[in-house]
Amino acid sequence: MKTIRIGGGLGYWGDRNDALLDLLRGGPLDYVIMDYLAEITMSILQKQRLKDPSMGYAHDFVPLVKTALPLLRQNRVRLIADAGGLNPLGLADALVAMTREAGFPEVKVGVVYGDDLMPQLESLARMGIDLRHFETGASQKEIPGQILSANAYFGAFPIAEALDRGADIVVTGRVNDAALALGPMIHEFGWEPTQHELLAKGTMAGHLLECGGQASGGNFNGGWQDVPDLANLGFPIGEVGEDGSLIITLHPGQGGLITPAVLKEQLLYEIGDPAAYIVADVISDITQVEMEDLGGNRVRVRGVCGHPPTSTYKVSMSYEGRYQISVGLVYTWPDCVAKARASADLVLKRLEKLGIRYRDHLVSIFGYDGVHGDMSRRAEDPDEVYLRMAFLVDDPKSAEKISREMITHILCGIPTSCGLEVGRPTPHKQIVYWPSLIPKTAIRPCVTLRGGAE
Amino acid sequence: MKGVALARIAHGRSGDKGDTLNCGIIARRPEYYSLIAEQVTEDRVKAHFGDFCQGTVKRYDLPKIHAFNFVLTRALGGGGTASLRIDPQGKTYAAALMRMNVQVPDEWNI
């Protein structure tokens, strides 16, 4: 039976950059997938693209691929990443320029795009498509701020098409994270859109790989003390068969841990109803999943079922919200909790006296109950706590005034306080999400190839 | 029977989708599964999170891996970057759930 090996090389933009090289050096692989796009990433990229139209993709992907290119070519490993963000064509051009300069002019870069709905918002509205809020049902017209980004989540078939056409590297805009892994399976095994069982198995393999080190012992709540060598954490590898069979493993000699307990945490990560895990290509049912520990950092996963997909793509829009500022001070023994509470009251009184208005606020006392509130144990008489006050305001000036007010409390307020960091905190603008659905007939993914020897 | 923290017999990981929180809870041994199913109910989880969860709690069971998925709506103070909380993505909330008290047989050596 034909089997391919896919490495999960990145869990988000900002994750360990050396994991890709460790995956390539550690042993045989056929593909590496890299997931750059969290919900928040698209709005960051949108801000960058507004300043400079040539931006809008994960710019550090290009130098990273440059470093990895000799190994990718030598080991015949193909790379698939959603690093294209809002400008996958721009990223592809930058990659082609880099590969030519680096002496690999034969490298072909496949591009999947068309997910960016920003240029299409008006025409979609004219077609009568209302991108209603997925949960509240509210009309798109009720979005209260400026729309920053709007992207559809494409599936794996466009990625497979790019590979069919000979791409060595595939970059995409927004696709569902698991599609990065399902794409090569479709390409290698010839899976059809109607083979829901196989597509579901491949999707859940992708789901296990898409968060990188979180599936090989990183952020493991079930026994972090037992995970060897997190400094050299090997990222997870999926061995996928053409029948959809799956073993998750690690390169030998690398840090990390692959056990059923580790994989169960990742399987359940950010999912809703386990009977209906919905992506563009298929609906997966994982309620009957089984895991078998084969020993030596090898776990077999089986029992995923599949159902036909929905008629819609998921859409994620973001818009600008209000301003947020968090300020705080450390208070020490004695009576530090009482002091922090008194200080919070005092700050609010001062804001009232100064006429500084805010829409909402939250007082938290870290070291006591600040993260988990009433769920906390609340130690008696702690040695020190951190008072954090977060405010929601309409304008940056109010945020600035709140920031200034807080530091006056070192001399004018409750005793035994000190700052946590150098300098004063700065406000940030909130970005608010608007999840929606769009009929698959309204838009279509585009695939093109760039580069390659003339 | 004796009372212990859920953390003694289970582990978990939590995450977000907008303002919705999910906590994957996994029995540390297969024999703990039915006890968790009996005691860690939707109502108890809702009460445990108190003000933190303004919406509903739904539990889904995965019997063959001895695990549960709890989905809590309106549980992240607005979610993403639109929340005033320190943990708007709910990364630490599975740990908060682990404080829940469960009654286990005296002879369980945990």
Looking at the structure, do residues A406 and A389 belong to the same domain, yes or no? yes
Model confidence at A276: pLDDT above 80: yes
Prediction pTM value: 0.96
Number of independent structural domains in chain A: 2
**Structure confidence by residue, pLDDT tens digits, A56-102:** 999 999 999 999 999 999 999 999 999 999 999 999 999 999 999 99
Q: For an interface test with B, which of A41, A216, A221 has the most B Cβ atoms less than 10 Å from its Cβ? A: A221
Domain identity same for A429 and A341 = yes
How distant, in Å, are the alpha carbons of A25, A104, A309, B37 from that of A71? 8, 12, 37, 49
DSSP track, A24-41: HHHS--SEEEE----HHH
Q: What percent of chain A has pLDDT over 90?
A: 92
What is the model's pLDDT at position B4? 98
Tokens of B57: 């709690």
Q: Domain locations in chain B?
A: 2-77+84-101
**Is residue A226 domain-shared with residue A274, that is, in the same domain?**
yes
Give me the DSSP letters along A372-412: TGGGS---SS-SEEEEEEEEEESSHHHHHHHHHHHHHHHHH
Q: Which of B36, B60, B68, B83 to mutate to test the interface with A (most CBs of A within 10 A)?
A: B60
Q: What is the mean pLDDT of residues A219-233?
A: 97
Burial class from Cβ neighbours inside 10 Å (0-12, 13-18, 19+) for residue A35 reads: buried
Q: Tell me the DSSP string of A80-130.
A: EE-TTTT-HHHHHHHHHHHHHHTT-TT-EEEEEE--B-GGGHHHHHHTT--
Q: Measured between alpha carbons, how far is residue A137 from residues A124, A435, B18 in Å?
A: 18, 10, 15
Q: How many whole angstroms separate alpha carbon B74 and alpha carbon A375?
A: 17
Look at residue A39 in the predicted model and tell me its pLDDT: 78
Contact B84 A433 (CB under 8 A): no
- Average pLDDT on B31-36 reads 98
Residue A112 in this model has a pLDDT that exceeds 90:
yes
Neighbouring CB atoms inside 10 A of B37's CB total 15
Exposure string for A43-56, b = 16+ CB within 10 A, e = fewer: bbbbebbeeeeebb
Q: Which of B32, B13, B33, B31 is nearest to B23 (CA)?
A: B13
Task: Return the pLDDT at A454.
Answer: 60
Render A308-347 in DSSP notation, one character per residue.
---SEEEEEEEEEEEEEEEEEEEEESSSHHHHHHHHHHHH
Give domain status of residue A370, yes or no: yes
Is the Cβ pair A375, B69 closer than 8 Å?
no
Taking contacts as CB-CB distances below 8 angstroms, the residues of chain B near A364 are: 85-86
| Residue among A432, A415, A442, A407 at smallest CA distance from A143 | A432
B100: enclosing H helix or E strand: none
Q: Cis before residue A396, ω within 30 degrees of 0?
A: no
Quick one: what percent of chain A has pLDDT higher than 70?
100
All residues of chain B having their beta carbon less than 8 Å from the beta carbon of residue A222 are: 11, 26, 28
pLDDT of A453 higher than 90: no
State yes or no: pLDDT of A159 exceeds 90: yes
Which of A43, A270, A325, A366 to mutate against chain B (most B CBs within 10 Å)?
A270
A8 and A68 housed in the same domain: yes
Any idea which residue has 């300098």 for tokens?
A423
Q: What is the secondary structure of A171-219 as a DSSP string?
A: EESSB-TTHHHHHHHHHHH---TT-HHHHHHHHHHHHHHTTGGGGTTTT
The CATH-assigned architecture of domain B2-77+84-101 is 2-Layer Sandwich (3.30)
> Is the domain of A290 the same as that of A351?
no
| Beta carbons of A360 and B22 less than 8 Å apart | no
Shared-domain flag, residues A220 and A83? yes
Q: Are residues A299 and A329 in the same domain?
A: no
Regarding whether A389 and A275 lie in a shared domain, the answer is no
- Per-residue pLDDT band for A228 (boundaries 50, 70, 90) equals very high
For all residues of chain A together, what is the average pLDDT? Answer: 96
- Shared domain for A417 and A268, answered yes or no, is no
A430 has a pLDDT exceeding 80: yes
Q: A135 in a domain, yes or no?
A: no
Residues A213, A78: one domain? yes
Residue A383 sits in which domain range? 319-434
Whether residue A296 sits in one domain with residue A381: no
Lowest mean pLDDT of A129-133, A368-372, A427-431, name the range: A427-431
State how far residue A134 is from chain B, nearest Cα, in angstroms: 11
- A286: which chain B residues are within 8 Å (Cβ-Cβ)? 62
Residue type, A47: K
pLDDT digits (tens, 9 = 90+) for A308-329: 999 999 999 999 999 999 999 9
Cα distances from A282 to residues A114, A158, A183, A185, A228, in angstroms, run 20, 15, 13, 14, 36
ipTM for the whole complex? 0.98
Q: Three-class SS of residue A10?
A: strand
Going along B18-109, which residue ranges are E strands?
20-27, 57-62, 67-72, 101-104
In chain B, whose CA is at the least distance from the CA of A289? B64
- Token pair of A108, please? 């072909």
For chains A and B, count residue pairs whose Cβ atoms are closer than 8 Å.
130
Asked if B17 reaches chain A (Cβ–Cβ under 8 Å), the answer is yes
Are A285 and A333 within one domain?
no
Give the domain CATH number at A374. 3.30.70
